[in-house]
Amino acid sequence: MPKESGHNGNGSPAGTRTKPTSAADAKWGYQFSIDGLMDVDEAETFLGDVSRRTPYRRTAKGLIRTGKDAGRTVFCRRSVVEYAASLER
């Protein structure tokens, strides 16, 4: 059995896999969904029970990352958390 070197060849710890970095990942500085995804209800609640449209408006302004998962719109958990933290500063 071969000995693990500690890395999987792309700089990540052994046993983990990462997708190639996209241009959007490079812009934001992290992979989309690295900390999980939120649906619109979760994002709305996390941001303090704001309007259901607020997460979409923040996406349009480039403040929150969005994508599709099984045909539904989802938000990158990390971008929502970072946006909420920026409101507290």
Q: Across the chain, what does the average pLDDT equal?
A: 81
Q: Which residues contact 7 (CB under 8 A, 6 or more apart)?
A: 13, 14
Report the pLDDT value the prediction gives residue 12, as an integer from 0 to 100. Answer: 46
Report the pLDDT value the prediction gives residue 89, as an integer from 0 to 100. Answer: 75
Q: What is the pLDDT of residues 50-87, one digit of tens each?
A: 999 999 999 999 999 999 989 999 999 999 999 999 98
Dihedral, 30, 81, 49, 54 alpha carbons, nearest 10: -40
The answer on pLDDT for 8 being more than 90 is: no
Q: Where are the alpha helices (DSSP H) in the chain?
A: 23-28, 40-46, 54-60, 77-88
Residue 29's φ and ψ, nearest 5 degrees, are 90, 5
The answer on pLDDT for 46 being more than 80 is: yes
Cβ atoms of 32 and 18 within 8 Å: the answer is no
